[in-house]
Structure 1
Amino acid sequence: MNGLARIARPRASPRLHCTVLTTVDQLAAFAPQWQALARTDTTHCSLFATYDYVLLAWRHLHSADDRLFVIVVSDGTAPVGVVPLAICPSRRWGMKVRVMRFIAQQEGDRPGIVSAGEPASIWLAAFEALLAHRAHWDLLQLAELDQDDWPVTNLGGFGRGIFGRVEADTSVASIDLRSAWADYLASRSRNTRKNYRRKLAQLDRRHPEWRIETATEPAAVERALNRYIAIEQQSWKASSPVGVAKDARHASFYRDLLGLLATRGEARISILTSGSTDMAGSIQMIWRDTVLDRHIAHARQYDADSVGSVLGAEVIRQHFGSGRTTLDLMGLAVGHPKRLQVEEWSTTTRITRRVTLFNLRSRVAPIACAVAARRAIRGTPLAWSGTP
């Protein structure tokens, strides 16, 4: 919504109630029910909202001051939804701010929630719990929501004393795998096809022995991950705060995660190699009928050989005819320099949204008022829930 408005906050069904899990032991006790809910939710639940992923992300990536805040929504005694959040203090605007966010927001992609029924009812109940515990958080940031998710479409309904805004977050590109590779390639632009064939021919000339080795078994995935990390350390990512092995915590997280997924046949690591030299690598995860193209890297000494581009295209080709329906190229920030390059290969793109809520009864109230004033001066649409 635009401008200032007072809106009656919708209420959750009286049958729904929330429990907040704040310890790892509580998560472990609830694990069987969480896993059962994820199996039931075949429409909305992502890999990044599952118990196993959330637990590993928490164990490996949380900071000392972070606190679990996992909301379980129940209908009577039966759990019907999970909203996996954490309170993560960080320095913003020259002060420590208690930020509530998805646990999987660091390394996940579109984390989301688990819902046995209509997600809107789960969100609504969860927000009542968040408002009831508003003394514990200053800022709520929900990343990579779809434009029809309840927090996006109901920005004005959070109640008195909450300032909210919605912004474009990431561009999500995906490929429909249900056709043949030849038909899909023919549907790409002439320029995309020409560049692909040129890079493929160039690699054939310079490295005629090149091949792609793909690991799927647990022991092979472990070895391939070591090779991938070695490639990443020779890539531009080595000097940037991104990547699988950007620090020891993240490397350990991915070892445990990919090891677990490999036992289920849900992990693939592809290495482009020539002779005994590894030049590029790709990490993919499988979630139901979707391939998540999670990470890719190439050694910088092979920049001129376009090994990353060739590997990316060959990974796409390999998944046609696999029985899976979608290859998710994962999200890139809106404005990312490689966004258009990725979208050349996609059959569907969409923009996700980031919802930020300022708790006006906390230390960030002056910041929220400044943001609102600046937007009003600029004539930028803003959303305000309740009265500051």
Structure 2
Amino acid sequence: MLRVLEINETQDLSYVRCNWHRLWESTPGATFFQTLEWLQIYWKHFGEGKLLRVLLVLDGERLVGVVPFVVVKEPTRLGKLRVLTYPLADWGTHFSVLAENPHETLRRALQHVQMTPRNWDMIDLRWLAEEDLEVNLTSDAMTEAGYTPNPGVWKETVFIDFEGSWDDYLRSRSPKLRSDIRRKLKKFDQPGRIHLERYRPLGKAAGDCNPRWDLYNQATSIAEKSWQGHSTTGTTISHRPIRRYIKDCHVAATELGMLDLAMLYLDCKPIGFCYNYCSDGHIFGLRRGDAPEAREHGLGTALTAILIRDSFERGDKSLDMGPGSFEAKRRWMTRIATVGRMTHYPMLAPRAQILRLKHWLQTCHDRKTGRLRTALEEKQGPL
């Protein structure tokens, strides 16, 4: 029979590090953001005012699942609501439990939440992959644990799938983009003129974990000179409030063999970067930036094209370009993926019920305007 052990301090998780990594390796599509290393870094920098609830699911003495929850106070027009959710906080686009049997693990974890004092106003499990929604994994687990799941769309993200060859991909692009790529590459893609350095260390276990601060500092410098240097969102790699977090993640990703940092040089001068995390051939694009001179020469297109071509040559599987800026990404993408959510609004929580109505009205508006008109939504019907 499965039992649950709840941990509320990240330092208390260190003793399960090896088993956590074992479950990470057995979880399809697991990302850098699901490692214990990332969770401890995230909590160190952003844990203030939040409650950590990591649920370890055991079969006897054997760890068979990890369900990292966090209770976050989120502002609404109704006041602050305590939301039980995953700890991703939009740093990535997908999150899931780590488990040999994800459905049983999540069901048992949610039963534990049901049996403990309620320190949340609403359950909102976000960043669900399309595969989760298609097989009703989270929905069924919530139902069996005694909750009423309300499916929804959290965001949408853009993917490039590296199927076939670079030439196949190029033929699938619009004539205008093909012409633009060929013209830029013909002009700049010459020995000694333009060069892409892509650093992807194997990790500490393989004795390959040089953080390459030279490349990191070049990327930060470019970000400061670009629009990112003036951004007030606090999410760019050059933004001072998150620099320590990004640097800690940089070291951890390097040691885990999950860093993918690409730097484009023109006449030996760094003019553009793509800062990514990768695992099992799947890449997540965290941030990218172009120096002013790169925009003058139109080298943003060249950087993206050379990066994609390099991924085809390496045998990568996919690149998640992230949500937002769809118009700029549309010409590169091979598909748009829904990032789902499953929400439970307690009947005895009036503010949560009002928020449920608001979410339903927003969904109706999104469908009417076509903002989130996806095949998945049409399949699921009204929320």
Which TM-score tier does this pair reach, normalised by the shorter chain?
0.7 to 0.9
Contact 1:228–1:281 (8 Å) recurs in 2: yes
Q: In structure 1, give the amino acid aligned to 2:320.
A: L
Cα RMSD of the aligned pairs, angstroms, is 3.2
Query: Where does residue 127 of structure 1 map in the other structure?
Result: 110
- Alpha-carbon shift at residue 69 of structure 1 (Å): 0.9
Of all paired residues, the percent bearing the same amino acid is 19
Which of residues 21, 32, 38 in structure 1 aligns to 2:7?
21
Contact 2:153 2:338 in 1 (8 A): no
Q: Residue 309 of structure 1: which of 301, 306, 311 is its match?
A: 301
CA contact (8 A) 1:81 1:114 kept: yes
Equivalent in 265, 273, 276 of residue 281 of structure 1: 273
Question: Which residue pairs with 1:230 in the alignment?
Answer: 221
Contact between 1:268 and 1:284, CA under 8 Å: does it hold in 2? yes
User: Paired residue for 2:333?
Assistant: 346
Secondary structure of 1:365's counterpart equals helix
Q: TM-score normalized by structure 1?
A: 0.80
- After superposition, the C-alpha distances for 1:301-334 in whole angstroms (9 at most, x for unaligned) are 5323222221121111112232x341322431xx
- The TM-score, its normalising length taken from structure 2, stands at 0.81
Alignment-derived partner of residue 98 in structure 2: 114
What is the rounded CA distance, in whole Å, between the counterparts of 2:114 and 2:327 in structure 1?
40
Q: What is aligned with 1:183?
A: 168
Question: Is residue 239 of structure 1 aligned with residue 230 of structure 2?
Answer: yes
Match of 1:266 in 2: 258
Greater mean alpha carbon deviation, residues 90-99 or residues 214-223: 214-223
User: SS in structure 2 opposite 1:211?
Assistant: strand
Shift in CA distance, 374/106, structure 1 to aligned 2, threshold 3 Å: closer
Once the two structures are TM-superposed, the CA of residue 351 in structure 1 deviates from its matched residue by 1.7
In the TM superposition, what whole-angstrom CA distance separates every residue of 1:137-179 from its partner, at most 9, and x where no partner exists? 11223222123424654498277775734125222413225x3
Structure 2 residue runs of 5 or longer lacking an equivalent are 202-208, 369-380
TM-superposed deviation, 1:49: 1.2
Contact 2:50 2:73 in 1 (8 A): yes
The answer to whether residue 74 in structure 2 is matched with residue 90 in structure 1 is yes
CA distance in 2, matches of 1:377, 1:224: 46
Distance 1:88 1:132 in 2: 20
Distance 2:228 2:75 in 1: 25
Q: How far apart are residue 225 of structure 1 and its match?
A: 0.9
The equivalent of 1:321 in structure 2 is: 313
| Alpha-carbon contact 1:261-1:267 (below 8 Å) kept | yes
Of 117, 133, 138, the residue aligned with 2:121 is 138
Aligned length: 358
Would the alpha carbon gap of residues 122 and 372 (structure 1) be closer, same or farther in structure 2, given more than 3 Å must change? same
